[in-house]
Structure 1
Amino acid sequence: MSARDVRAVTLFVLIACGLAWLVALPLWLGDGLASPLFIVIATAMMATPSVAALVVVFVVERPSHRARALGLWPMAPAGRLIGYLALGLVVPIVLAVAGLLVGALLGVYPADFTGFSGFAQTLDEQLSAAGLPAVPIPIGVMVALQFVNIVVAAFLNLIPAFGEELGWRGWLLPKLLPLGTVPALLVSGLIWGLWHAPLVLLGYNYAGAPGWLALTMMCGMCVVVGGVLGWLRLRSESVWPAALAHGSLNAAVGSTMIMFVAADSTVDTTQATLLGWSGWIVPLVLIAVLLATGQFRPARRAGDGGSGPAVSSGVPVQTAPR
């Protein structure tokens, strides 16, 4: 990386993280995660990486193709983009469920994959609290409907998720590629994890865990999941599949955990789900396979003879992952 790129990355990180702490400050001065403003503040915080990327691109770097530098353009060929958007929707859901299966096999996730007893218990409690009678629908049908809800929520989550992805995968990851594909994925994932500190240190995602452990686990999760999101970004040469995958991930992790947990159980998210170490095994295997098969290279455009280095977002991309 050139000295100019280092300065740009440093400024980006300072703006993104500084704004995140500023936005989250009312939670620290008030009721923390119990604040009635939590959802509003957390959503606003997700926009801070985009603000940082826009400042760096439009004020500092000012490249000739700014939309390309952010991964917003080109949105072609359409067939390839649609294919990676479909992967962005489905892959996080598959990884979330696979992580629960592995966690159950390793004894760290208390699962009920057949009776859905925990999900049924949660539904009963919610209906009882609302003063409503039990729903006369088989629990299996309710589980199927929950998957439909995850898909719908993935698209609803796309807007706030885009606020993060424009910064993390849209601009930052390609900017770090001169370090090599693997170092770029590691560094961008670590920065993404540390950016979550204002919420994680309040107990978000890892309730009951000491702050140092919660933040360490969050960084680990972001490195692992960031590798999958990074693959979608680099392979498609677009930020949109990664943004949809981020929205799908946010919808799938909590929902699947509730759907398949056993009744009267407590889930330790430092160990189970995609947030915990057991949930990282399957995505790590996927990333290893993708790296071994060269799938982090941009897909060739139609008519591309393959000569010369591929270019993504105006940054030369390694012709082989390393």
Structure 2
Amino acid sequence: MKKTSIYILLSYGLAWFIWIGLWLAGVQLGQPLSLLGSTLGMWIPALAYGILRKINSDKYRLDAGFALNFKKGWKYYLLAMWGPGLMTLLGMILYFAIFKNQFSLQFLVIKQMLEETGESLTIAPAFLAMLQVISAVTYAPLLNTFFALGEEIGWRGYLYPTLRKQFSSLQAHLMTGLIWSLWHLPINLQGYNFGLTYWGYPWLGVLAMFIFCFSIGILLSWVMERTGSIWAPALLHGAINACAGLGILFQNPSQQALAMRILGPSPVGLLSGLPLLLLALAILQKERKQENELR
């Protein structure tokens, strides 16, 4: 565990140095400098791995390559591309079926954002929402792949396979999910994902982030193992990032909605993330059954 602990500490140290430094400097989430810090942070897991591999190449090895292997794994790439959109849609349906009063086709969130930036409503909010949905299921996952690649090199390419050699699949996924979720802690405490006014701040946010990272981590590792390529989880990760905010477009931006952001409609929410969690548990159960049959 020594080499793994060193990797975790380096990944945390470099990312937290950026995020906490910006926080202390008064940089708010959403500002250009904060967005730059988030982008750099996504590449820290890969940077930490690269540093340690440069020091000792024998101890630090990736469990997946950079070849696409598309011919044998094309169906997993399709799943990575559009599966997150389907899971996000199911989570939105579940959330708005329970909280019907929060659903709106007036796209008030877009109107509010335009007003806050001083932009005039020259384009219909419905049209902007449609463009957002189209981008989320077409080109946005592909663009996001290159940003998500930095995390996937570290968490899926190195960390999870290393833990899996020492622990069961469930234990390895739980540890990876915990490490990955707490890695986000400095920006989550600033309001990333849930804002600052949700119920149970900040502890419920920590729990929700762990459940989400555990759930999506299982899917990310699964597509990586099936394709043998680091690009497959990077694409899936990019697709999740592209779709995560779609539910908010259809939500009334009331104080009640902000307080309930911990539940949804983003797939990171405790309620709207249930379809993702159930799918992940089904995959994990199938993997554990296959492992038991091989013993």
Q: Same fold (TM over 0.5)?
A: yes
Of residues 48, 52, 66, the one that matches 1:56 is 52
Distance 1:225 1:196 in 2: 15
Name the CA distance, whole Å, in 1 between partners of 2:221 and 2:276.
12
TM-score in terms of structure 1 length = 0.78
2:169·2:288 contact (CA, 8 Å) conserved in 1? Answer: no
Could you list the per-position Cα deviations for residues 147-179 of structure 1 after superposition, in whole angstroms to 9, with x for gaps in the alignment? 221132211111111111110111111111121
Letter of the structure 1 residue corresponding to residue 8 of structure 2: V
Alpha carbons of 1:41 and 1:101: their partners in 2 closer, same or farther (altered >3 Å)?
same
Among candidates 23, 30, 46, match of residue 28 of structure 1: 23
Q: Distance in 1 between matches of 2:64 and 2:2?
A: 20
Whether the 8 Å contact between 1:99 and 1:274 is mirrored in structure 2 is: yes
Q: In structure 1, which of residues 57, 71, 80 is the aligned counterpart of residue 72 of structure 2?
A: 80
Alpha-carbon distance in 1 for matches of 2:190, 2:134: 31
2:39 to 37, 40, 43: 43
1:203 corresponds to 2:198: no
Q: What SS does the aligned partner of 2:171 have?
A: helix
SS at match of 1:33: coil
Q: Which moved more, 1:227-236 or 1:8-17?
A: 227-236
Matches within 5 A, 1:1-322: 6-34=1-29, 35-62=31-58, 66=61, 69-76=62-69, 78-107=70-99, 110-112=102-104, 116-117=105-106, 119=107, 121-125=108-112, 129-135=118-124, 139=126, 143-150=129-136, 151-178=138-165, 179-208=167-196, 209=198, 210-254=201-245, 256-262=246-252, 264=254, 266-267=257-258, 268-272=260-264, 273-294=266-287
List per-residue Cα deviations over 1:9-35 (Å, max 9, x = no partner).
Answer: 111100100111111133222224245
1: CA distance between counterparts of 2:293 and 2:217? Answer: 19
SS in 1 for 2:273: helix
Change in 2 beyond 3 A, CA 1:250/1:320: farther
- Compare 141-150 and 168-177 and name the one that shifted more: 141-150
Task: Give the deviation of 1:320 after TM superposition.
Answer: 6.1
Q: 1:122-168 CA deviation, whole Å, 9 max, x = no partner?
A: 44455664235344x9x4x6554332211322111111111111101
The structure with more radius of gyration: 1
**Structure 2: how far apart are the matches of 1:244 and 1:13?**
23
Q: Which runs of 5+ in 1 are unaligned?
A: 1-5, 298-317
Mark the CA change 1:216 to 1:122 in structure 2 (over 3 Å): closer, same or farther.
closer
Partner of 1:315: none
Q: Give the % identical residues.
A: 27
CA distance in 1, matches of 2:294, 2:223: 14
Letter in 2 for 1:180: S
Q: CA RMSD in A?
A: 2.9
Q: Secondary structure at the match of 2:271?
A: helix
Residues 24, 199 of structure 1: 8 Å contact kept: yes
Structure 2: distance between partners of 1:213 and 1:13 = 24
Q: By how many angstroms is 1:296 displaced?
A: 9.8
SS in 1 for 2:193: coil
Q: Give TM-score, length-normalised by structure 2.
A: 0.84
Q: How many residues align?
A: 284
